[in-house]
Structure 1
């Protein structure tokens, strides 16, 4: 014959060593050694009683949480409410999207891909990062980007603002999310970027630029030919000096070039123009015909330039032993005589005491353009006349 176990009289929170010592219905003595409510129950805040949680076992009279009832054998929250995270309270569900909530369980009307997210003050029900809000259905719908499988137009969308999505640039085509005409998948596969069909068009990344061998310039954010290519007259990127090649015919777009070491290069005695579209002959020195300055610098040095289609020294520079050198005028510091230079004539110009000066007996002419002896002669003549006048006066 079975005999019912007699329960003790210890209340919740009292020290215990076995379950029978705990007298409260639905309580037990856990390893901690203090009477507590069993799983699925919690302590009443007002009396020594174990109350069924939402989802806990029940009969009708057991479900005392406000808004709950016993549905068969479990306590459940009523219509328009949802269980709190502790399962000890029925909270009102949030009906309108982006409205206040305290727990995510209040947001379940919008589906499973939802958050109760803080906006700096209160928290609101919003779709999580993997979904977007479909206004017509008031539901958070999973987001699928370019290339992903789809069965409904609503499946496909791309981000267009912070935490917002749009289906304007993407469609579900043959069960694949596909960017509409004029757009293409971004490099990360999450967005549809606007095509940039021509060089100079605005872009955000390399894949935007549709011209072959073009890239998105990181500074200008415009499509440009990549290194080793130049924009030809038809708006294409042609192989230029420095571009890859396997045979010289590959370098046909660069006049006078040849393929060396798998690169289109200028042969000895030639140099690339700035556009890398042509090899130009290197000149032999001053006053040789030229088209660009780099033809002149090998012979004239870094201060040579192409001016008026002739190789010349840059302004305020002059030729010394075939090389263009910075010119030092009267009064400027110097260490060598050849550094001193005047535009009209260098005759009588010397470097004395580390300064460009007129030689003894000479003085600077007007505007310091050259050295002259006229002032010195005039001074001597005046002195001679003065002495002669004094001698006559004394007689």
Structure 2
């Protein structure tokens, strides 16, 4: 019977809202087996309160089920690089953040590969010419302030002042763009004359 219940509950985990609060089907079973009517019923989830019949962490905290037999509410990270011991703390930076160890083994909340930290969250990184849904998607390591989502495409801004570099990894000002264009024209003319 419990195997059937686990399978049904695993289907429920497909919901992002449920998945964000529960680390595994065992944790969901524990939460559902322990409904609450007051805060004292939430002894199994340290630093939680009973709200609408379920034990929940206060605002700014997330459940951490990593310790095995007990669970606790941990403070959510608010910036990339913050120290952590489990992924639960990094949920504050969004779905694209993890607790990763540095060379000494100390964990830090970091954005996943191909993501960047901006405005308190980890966003997917889209380069020049890529499809975007908002300015937060567009990211250039060298010129983060010179790129924006314009007509659903990451572009250099302001248009007419900045242009993509040849490698499309940065935006160059119009004077640099003109200098590069003139240099390429001169090389082309010189090559034609030498033939």
Given the two structures, how large is their TM-score scaled by the length of structure 2? Answer: 0.60
Q: CA deviation at 1:117?
A: 1.9
Q: Confirm whether residue 93 of structure 1 aligns to residue 72 of structure 2.
A: no
**Contact 1:156/1:170, CA 8 A, preserved across alignment:** yes
Q: 1:124 aligns with which of 72, 91, 108?
A: 108
Deviation at 1:102, TM superposition (A): 0.7
Pick closer, same or farther for the CA change 1:158–1:85 going to 2, 3 Å: farther
**Equivalence for 1:170:** 147
Instruction: Tell me, yes or no, if the aligned pair for 1:111 and 1:139 is still in contact at 8 Å.
Output: yes
Displacement of 1:68 in angstroms is 2.5
Match of 1:150 in 2: 132
If asked which structure has higher relative contact order (CA below 8 Å, sep 6+), I would say: 2
2:62–2:76 CA contact under 8 A, matched in 1: no
- Correspondences of 1:307-326 after superposition (within 5 Å): none
Q: Deviations over 1:96-146 (max 9, x none)?
A: 412111111111222222121222231111222232222xx3222332212
Comparing both structures, which one devotes a greater share of its residues to helix? Answer: 2
| Structure 2 residue matching 1:132: 3-state secondary structure | strand
Matching residue of 1:183 = 164
Query: Does the aligned pair in 2 maintain the 1:56–1:74 contact within 8 Å?
Result: no
Deviations 1:16-74 (A, max 9, x none): xxx9xxxxxxxxxxxxxxxxxxx747xxxxxxxxxx73565423354212212333343
Task: Name the SS of the counterpart of 1:53 in structure 2.
Answer: helix
Give the equivalent residue in structure 2 for 1:291. Answer: none
Listed as ranges, the matches of 1:1-395 within 5 Å are 40=26, 53-54=30-31, 56-60=33-37, 61-65=40-44, 66-86=46-66, 88-97=70-79, 98-121=81-104, 122-134=106-118, 137-160=119-142, 166-179=143-156, 181-184=162-165, 186=167, 191-192=169-170, 196-197=180-181, 231=187, 234-235=189-190, 237-238=191-192, 277=194
Compared with structure 1, are the counterparts of its residues 85 and 159 closer, same or farther at alpha carbon in structure 2 (3 Å cutoff)? farther
Whole-Å separation in 1 of the counterparts to 2:82 and 2:181: 44
Q: Flag the 1:56–1:177 CA change in 2: closer, same or farther, 3 A.
A: farther
SS at structure 1 position matched to 2:91: helix
Equivalent in the alignment of 2:17: none
Report if the CA contact (8 A) 1:94-1:101 is conserved.
Answer: no
**Length, aligned pairs only:** 156
Cα 1:110–1:56 change in 2 (3 A) is: farther
- Shift of the 40–118 alpha-carbon distance from structure 1 to 2, 3 Å rule, reads closer
SS at match of 2:181: coil
User: CA separation in 1, counterparts of 2:74 and 2:31?
Assistant: 14
Gaps of 5+ in 2: 3-24
Change (3 A) 1:40 1:96: closer
Q: Is the 8 A contact 2:111 2:117 kept in 1?
A: yes
